[in-house]
Chains A and B, each alone.
Chain A
């Protein structure tokens, strides 16, 4: 799921709010806990103090009473009746005293078993029991013996009063001494008062201890007299605390407890679950230890419950907040989502898509307004762009048409290839832009070949227009010398040339019989000559560029050519081509190329130079138009040869047939003439339709004639295809129902020529077709 603004807002707000709540709760819990525990410490101390005071008062009361009786006995030993009376009153009038006895020491009573009447509370009245009747003599019982042997008043360890009241109790025993005549003291009796453990338990229950809090009272000797149990009990504390590890802890605490000193611990006590808060002190007279144990868990239970309530409330608030944030963000983002949809539509080009309505003046509304503005601007911009594109494509169309027209002004549309018996010529123009200012032309008048190469200042459309103007003035000079012709051209171009455009050019006339080359230059680089395998750059006398000032002189230069010589005319786009390092191609590389291409055909050599320049410039845009014209004077042979390349345009068949008719002239019989045309048409038609080549590609047609044979050689760079074997070939002679339509051409080619040969040369198909010119019966045998 992609995180929407709503979900991100909800997530971040919930996270931060819950973090804040959690921290606040934690702090609150900590502080409240400390406070509660502190309050508990104070409260428990106060409670313990209260209970201790109560207990001490109780005990002091009992002690005081008992000591008083003992004091009476010490001064005046009453009769048995008086003693019984005293005891009855003591029990009856002292609420806290359960029972009391006065046990006479041995020898003080006339009875052999001694005298020990015991009065105790029973029902609403006072009951009597004679302690002398037990199985053990009473002077051996602890309540008697302890006080008797120590001679001090004592609280006896709690015990079960078997044979007496049959309950748990503890007893305060006070010895009463008499002084004889010699001043010696003799034990007269032990006076006791009993306190039931139930009474102690009741006092302890006044400690408010909560559900898990325990109040306890432990005797000097470690008997637990009261604890959390509902009934009275009496157990050694080791029994209550079976865990030996904690026994030492308790022992230490009990030992630490001193009368009037409070011992407090906050630790694990093993009595209640979790940590405990323990408070302890020792009673003054009895030496008993009174303590309280609070369970921390119990004390904090309310706090916890409160915190849980707060957490639940916090969660509820978070949920409500999430819902509110969700509603709020959806309300805010709804227009944004609608805007995104509209923007998608806009992006797909539907510029009339309506934008969502945005009310108010908030950021979203401003965004929608901006979008609306952008949409309008985009519309306007696209409309402008469409206009500009239309203008541009119209301009490009016009320029492209202009290029076609300009190229059509040049011989063979700017890529000329001419093979005659007397000369071979190859020329090309490579414009730096769609149209350019370079030109070349040639024409044959009688035995004189006129040719020229020129370069108009500047490039592009102005240069192209001036080039057209220059070209219109360049026709064969007739009997005038090249220099005179140049002077005429110069005067013609000076007229109405306010822009001061100019043309540099070389204009030459070659006499095909004498091989004398006469040429004049108007500020143009001189021709290069390849003679006997070496390049020569002849010195030339040059006039100024044409078109600038009238009546200029252009001296003629004369150069005698020999058969096998090659002449190169070029424009400065060749030697002044620059590479990325800013170096110029230069005449040195040009001469080196000329030396190296001696064995190649003119087309190969010329194409090689164009490629060399392109390789040299390597990625740098062509800066100037390039024009190259190569002329070769062939060594004499008895062959007459013609060659021409044709672009594979729709009129290629008409153009090639026209050329064939022109080069054949009247030298063949009409029948051979017509049949050769038919053969060439079939071959060219095949290539045009099936070679896979386009209009930029050419087909080369060569015709050689000697006295016996005429040979047509056709080359194309299309896919490898041998029409003699691979071509579709209709079965001949079938009746109309079974006759095939198509596949006829190859039959005509085979029947109308005497020898057919196909080979693949490199990337080219080469088809050679020979037709014998000797019309004997034998040689025509294969032909009908």
Chain B
């Protein structure tokens, strides 16, 4: 099982969307960590992990997200997750992971959030 990623950035709204497809597990986590570090390093305000095509996540994957979230917060950035499949959501819930992390069920919620963020920053 492997992990494919695709990055879409919207510099105008200072948003980066990283699409994850496949499995985020022990094998794929190290490469993903590097990639996520690069995304955060580009300095955009809001970084969204789009999990609509993510089939599988293990604790190793969550660890990477944890670490990145912590780092983002220290840098004044936001890391959010969206479109989690039910069993992915379950893993998040079991680990009570990131209670204060923004999570969006669909595009509408995400757009609303982004608009609100933009409105606030103006």
Contacts and interface: CB of A to CB of B under 8 A. Distances in A.
B92 to A, nearest CB: 11
Contacts of B87: 671, 674-675
Interface string A746-779: 0110011000000000000000000000000000
B60 A741 contact: no
Contacts of B90: 784
Interface string A724-758: 00000010110111010110110110011000000
B99 A735 contact: yes
Contacts of B62: 744
B116 interface: no
Interface in B63-92: 63, 66-67, 69-70, 73, 87, 90-91
Contacts of A752: 94
A741 B60 CA distance: 10
B98 interface: yes
B70 to A, nearest CB: 6
Contacts of B101: 736
A744 B59 contact: yes
Contacts of A742: 63
B44 to A, nearest CB: 18
Contacts of B26: 653, 681, 685, 688
B4 interface: no
A678 B91 contact: yes
A681 B99 contact: no
A130 to B, nearest CB: 159
B8 interface: no
Contacts of A678: 56, 58, 91
B31 interface: no
A682 interface: yes
Identify the interface centre among A674, A688, A784: most chain B CB within 10 Å of its CB: A674
Interface string B1-17: 10000000000000000
Contacts of B55: 674
A752 B67 CA distance: 24
A677 interface: yes
A744 B63 contact: yes
Main secondary structure of the interface of A (DSSP, over half): helix
Nearest to B2: A654
Interface residues of A, number: 29
Contact of A736 (B56, B60, B69, B93): B69
B94 A654 contact: no
Nearest to B79: A736
B95 A748 contact: yes
Given A653-B26, A654-B27, A736-B101, A685 B70 contact: no
Given A747-B94, A748-B58, A737 B73 contact: yes
B45 interface: no
Most buried by A among B62, B93, B94: B94
Given A733-B96, A741-B66, A748 B59 contact: yes
A681 B95 contact: no
Contacts of A651: 27
A685 B59 CA distance: 10
Nearest to A749: B59
B1 A739 contact: no
A632 B66 CA distance: 49
A232 to B, nearest CB: 134
B100 A735 contact: yes
A284 B99 CA distance: 156
B73 A744 contact: no
A13 interface: no
Contacts of B100: 735-736
A674 B1 CA distance: 13
B70 A733 contact: no
Contacts of A74: none
A657 interface: yes
Given A653-B27, A748-B59, A736 B96 contact: no
B58 A739 contact: no
B68 to A, nearest CB: 10
Contacts of B25: 653, 681
Interface string A714-730: 00000000000000001
B91 A748 contact: yes
A784 B90 CA distance: 7
B94 to A, nearest CB: 4
B94 A784 contact: yes
B73 A748 contact: no
A671 B89 CA distance: 12
A782 to B, nearest CB: 11
B25 to A, nearest CB: 6
Nearest to A746: B59
B49 to A, nearest CB: 15
Interface string B43-62: 00000000000011011101
A739 B70 contact: yes
A685 B58 contact: yes
B36 to A, nearest CB: 13
Contacts of A675: 87
Contacts of A735: 99-100
A316 to B, nearest CB: 89
Nearest to B94: A751
Contacts of B69: 736
A682 B58 contact: yes
Nearest to A752: B94
A646 to B, nearest CB: 14
A739 B91 contact: no
Given A653-B25, A653-B26, A741-B66, A732 B95 contact: yes
Given A681-B58, A744-B59, A736 B95 contact: no
Nearest to B85: A674
B34 to A, nearest CB: 16
B1 A657 contact: yes
Contacts of A737: 70, 73
A744 B56 contact: no
23 contacts: A651-B27, A653-B26, A677-B56, A678-B58, A681-B26, A688-B26, A730-B95, A733-B96, A735-B99, A736-B69, A736-B73, A736-B100, A739-B98, A741-B70, A742-B63, A744-B59, A744-B62, A744-B63, A745-B58, A747-B94, A748-B91, A751-B94, A784-B93
List of 3 A-B pairs having minimum Cβ-Cβ separation, nearest first: A744-B59, A733-B96, A745-B59
Given A657-B1, A735-B99, A747-B59, 7 more contacts: A674-B55, A681-B26, A682-B59, A736-B70, A741-B70, A745-B58, A752-B94
